[in-house]
Amino acid sequence: MPLYIGTSGFAYKTWKPAFYPADLPATRFLQYYAERLTALEVNYTFRSLLTASVAARWIAETPATFQFIPKAHMRITHSEKLKDESGFLQAFLDRLEPLRAAQRLGPILFQLPPGFHCDPGRLAAFLLKCPPGYRCAFEFRDPSWFNEEVYAIVRRHGATLCFAESKDLVTPRVYTAPYAYFRMRQPPYEEPQLKELAGVVSEGLKHLQDVYVFFKHEDDPRGVLSARDFLRVLENRAAAPE
């Protein structure tokens, strides 16, 4: 399946009863979520290394087609700002191996901090350290990164820009890889906005292998309901006669 839709978290009791049934125990949240959506962006890995037991549980509780998209650890993106002088990147990747071995690992999201200005040399050196076989998505949160030199570096390494939509910054829609990554961060997303996004995604699927779309997690269920509704809009669009 080339289209992966979800949110940036799932373990919210406040999503009851709009998304999770009122009587659903928290231990079944992931299973329920994965029966209705197709991917999960994992914030957990931004602060903690994934453990083998957690990875095994995630794999067991989700369908074989379900994808996990980890956010790179803050030590990589925020503390060391892609320098990786400590070699922590490899330690982080080693912990993802159970997901990769099970073919459940999607792109790794490298979300750079606001105010981290463009450094093409550092980006290129970092990408050389990323072993083959990993997809990488970069969310640049300073506009200085949006230039042709950076696009060429990202494209050369088969990585992609994260098309992040927020009140502070909108990423230029420049495709650099055979997959695309969208982060929708300006709720609410009503039917007109979802239909417009469906048009963009459907057009992208004509020349891309995979598309990943994630809506913002909130304590209230707006994000997950938008993800669910977006899947419905896409299904209706696909079923409509030409």
**What would the pLDDT profile of 214-232 be if each residue is shown by its tens digit?**
998 878 899 999 999 999 9
* Domains with residue ranges and CATH for the chain: 41-208 (3.20.20.410)
Q: Which residues of 198-207 are buried (b: 16+ CB within 10 A; e: fewer)?
A: beebeebbee
Q: Which two tokens stand for residue 43?
A: 């914030």
- Cα separations in angstroms, 55 against 44, 68, 122, 166, 177: 12, 10, 31, 30, 27
**What would the pLDDT profile of 109-155 be if each residue is shown by its tens digit?**
999 999 999 999 999 999 999 998 899 999 999 999 999 999 999 99
pLDDT for 144:
97
φ, ψ of residue 111 to 5 degrees: the values are: -95, 110
- Cα separations in angstroms, 82 against 30, 85, 216: 31, 9, 25
| DSSP type of residue 42 | E
**What would the pLDDT profile of 183-203 be if each residue is shown by its tens digit?**
998 878 999 999 999 999 988
Q: Which of 63, 131, 148, 144 is nearest to 97 (CA)?
A: 131
**What would the pLDDT profile of 48-104 be if each residue is shown by its tens digit?**
999 999 999 999 999 999 999 999 999 999 999 999 999 999 999 999 999 999 999
pLDDT band at 242 (very low <50, low <70, confident <90, very high): low
DSSP 3-state assignment of 162?
strand
Contacts of 32 by beta carbon, 8 Å cutoff, 6+ apart: 20, 21, 24
> Peptide bond before 120: cis, by omega within 30 degrees of 0?
no
**C-alpha torsion 135→171→42→109, nearest 10:** 30
Cα–Cα distance, 77 to 81 (Å, whole number): 5
Cα–Cα distance, 227 to 6 (Å, whole number): 6
Name the residue with tokens 């080339």.
2
